[in-house]
Every structure is written in C-alpha cells, then in structure tokens.
C-alpha cells in the first residue's frame, strides 16, 4: 500500500509531487529545498545555512511519518557549486551518525527557486 506523508512542519511541494511517500517499510522523501516552513522563504542565501534547513525539513517529514533521520539509508545531495562540498559535508555530518547513510552528491547547473542546495532521502520507516 502506498501512503502519502505530509506535514506543515516542512515546506509544501512546489509542484505536482508529494513531500514523501511511504511504501514497503521505506519512506521516500522528495528533494527538500532550504525553505523555512514558517515563512515560506529561503532561510538564508548562505549555502551552509541552506543545507542545514534542507536537513531540518527532511527530519520534520521523517517525524511526520513516524520515523527519524537516524534511520536514513540513502541521500542525494544536489549543489550548484561543488566547491561548497566540504562545508556542506560538515553540516551534513552533524545530522547523521554511524552507520552513515549511503549518499550521492552532484553539482547541478540550477535548482528550483534559485536554491544552492537540495537534499532528498530514503528512510527506513519500520
């Protein structure tokens, strides 16, 4: 059975997709932009602060699905400038502990709304 997960504690989708879908013991969380759900705006123009907000949004969606960020099995990090990798990696490490989730990180030309960072995740929901 496929279950849609949604929470006001994370920004709503900016297109025709769900914040997350829960199926077969996994939670598939859509890419999170650095939008502060309280304001509907980016939390900062700074890449590091944006990464932190993306991860906070992932955590809020995980909680809404009855799981937690520590059960993350895979993430994908999208950056508009790979030179920010080590700073973003430092923030990222503050949200996860061993065993760290599998991860891919890509530099992309652009992200929605002009974001510098977007992060998606697959999280165990059992």
Distance CA 60, CA 81 (A): 26
Active site annotation includes 54: no
Of 49, 105, 111, 124, which residue is the catalytic one? 105
Q: What's the 3-state SS for 84-118?
A: HHHHHHHHHHCCCCCCCCEEEEEECCCCHHHCCEE
Residue 125 near residue 25 (C-beta atoms within 8 A): yes
Residues recognised as catalytic: 105
């Amino acid at each position: 059975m496929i279950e849609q997960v949604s929470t006001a504690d994370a920004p709503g989708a900016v297109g025709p997709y769900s914040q997350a879908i829960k199926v077969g013991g996994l939670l598939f969380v859509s890419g999170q932009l650095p939008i502060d759900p309280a304001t509907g705006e980016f939390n900062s123009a700074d890449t590091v602060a944006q990464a932190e907000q993306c991860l906070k949004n992932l955590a809020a969606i995980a909680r809404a699905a009855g799981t937690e960020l520590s059960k993350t099995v895979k993430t994908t990090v999208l950056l508009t400038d790979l030179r920010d990798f080590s700073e973003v990696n430092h923030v990222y490490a503050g949200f996860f502990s061993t065993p760290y989730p599998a991860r891919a990180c890509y530099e992309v030309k652009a992200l929605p709304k002009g974001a510098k960072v977007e992060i998606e995740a697959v999280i165990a929901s059992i």
